[in-house]
Structure 1
């Protein structure tokens, strides 16, 4: 297996963990403000899944209406919110961007949150990722998908580059 180490090893990884799950409007505002910054490389949201249909029980297969599962607009694109936003993980270029992200969180989030720096996303391709995507996987997708899942259901590209 070739060394698929991306140039993301020198970047900072941050995690924002609000004390509560974010409402879609708050998540939309926060994500748009963060993505407007220069120096944000990649970002993903994490939280409990919001299924589109009832997964089990007597009503299995019927449509499930949940207030948080709706379309939000991120950088001018409509994105279906498929999870309740419980945390946001992102990769930024330097400490200046980190401080700007922290300031945005303080302005938008009306409740306490944790703001951490660490390693939250894979920096190198795993063996199962290599078997699934091959040696030419985009380095920005490393650690962003489940190797057993379908790519189209997991990743939403916002920036076209």
Structure 2
């Protein structure tokens, strides 16, 4: 697990769950703007094995969130005609938790002092 720290993040919540195919198409369109470092998908798995995406978190570094929102709003309107909500904030963890270490998602490569930073 690699933590990418970003000062500002953008959360996009569609008002309906999206299929994985449509979500991947949406992510590709957003990444093609060149303003996004990474997109995190929050998806739900259903009994039949398929996933539906309910939340996107965009990690940005070099530009302001307002610039990104201005650029991605038409894409969101095109891909989510049923509506969506956009928020600016910090939506990812700033550092690994004890649970991350227990699950093995993070390895003990750093000293305890480095983890506390």
TM-score of the superposition, structure 2-length normalised? Answer: 0.69
| Shift in CA distance, 128/102, structure 1 to aligned 2, threshold 3 Å | same
Unaligned runs of 5+ in 1: 1-5, 52-63, 70-82, 138-161
CA contact (8 A) 1:46 1:86 kept: yes
Aligned to 1:91: 59
| Coordinate RMSD, CA, aligned | 2.5
Structure with bigger helix share is 2
Residue 134 (1) aligns with residue 102 (2): no
Unaligned runs of 5+ in 2: 111-117
- Paired with 2:69 and 2:109, the residues of 1 have a C-alpha distance of 30
SS of corresponding position for 1:16: strand
Residue 20 (1) aligns with residue 16 (2): yes
SS of corresponding position for 1:99: helix
| Shift in CA distance, 123/110, structure 1 to aligned 2, threshold 3 Å | same
Residue 39 (1) aligns with residue 35 (2): yes
CA contact (8 A) 1:13 1:118 kept: yes
Aligned residues: 103
CA contact (8 A) 2:39 2:56 kept: yes
SS of corresponding position for 1:47: strand
1:38 Cα shift?
1.7
Residue 8 (1) aligns with residue 5 (2): yes
CA contact (8 A) 1:47 1:86 kept: yes
1:97 Cα shift?
2.5
| Shift in CA distance, 130/116, structure 1 to aligned 2, threshold 3 Å | same
